[in-house]
Amino acid sequence: MTRTRSMITRAALGVAVASGAMVLGAAPASAATPNTWATIAVSVRTGNIGYSYDQPSAGAAAAAAVDACGARDCREAVSVTNGCAAVAQARNRAWGWAYAASLDEAERAAVRATPGKGARVLSHVCTGAYR
């Protein structure tokens, strides 16, 4: 059972890492709101989570989140500009993540994106005015 859980968990994060993770703007930028980035990074092995927000670029946000995660295998799971992102995990240890224009929407979408039962949000992050 543990082997199966581990495979599911690694596969879920592997898909995101292989595809370059989710990087997309959640909402159009306005002249009053600077275009800032937020990222959540995850370690499948340890379960560590790191995040960053209000970074000037996607690369800066990803690097800061991976550094904050504190494990060797930390990888960017989801990034967003001008919005919110959330990471969830199910009882079977499978991960899911999503981004949206609001925190509530991002959390609901992350739970829906998590394969398995009993998914709950473990971390969330928003940029600037979206917090």
pLDDT, tens digit, for every residue of 15-38? 443 333 444 444 444 433 578 999
Three-state SS string across 60-115, please? Answer: HHHHHHHHHHCCCCCEEEEEEECCEEEEEECCCCCEEEEEECCHHHHHHHHHHHCC
Cβ atoms 12, 94 nearer than 8 A: yes
Q: Please give the mean pLDDT across all residues of the chain.
A: 81
Q: What is the DSSP letter of 24?
A: E
Q: Which domain holds residue 6?
A: 2-130
pTM: 0.76
The total number of structural domains in the chain stands at: 1
Q: Which of 27-31, 74-78, 108-112, 117-121 has the lowest mean pLDDT?
A: 27-31
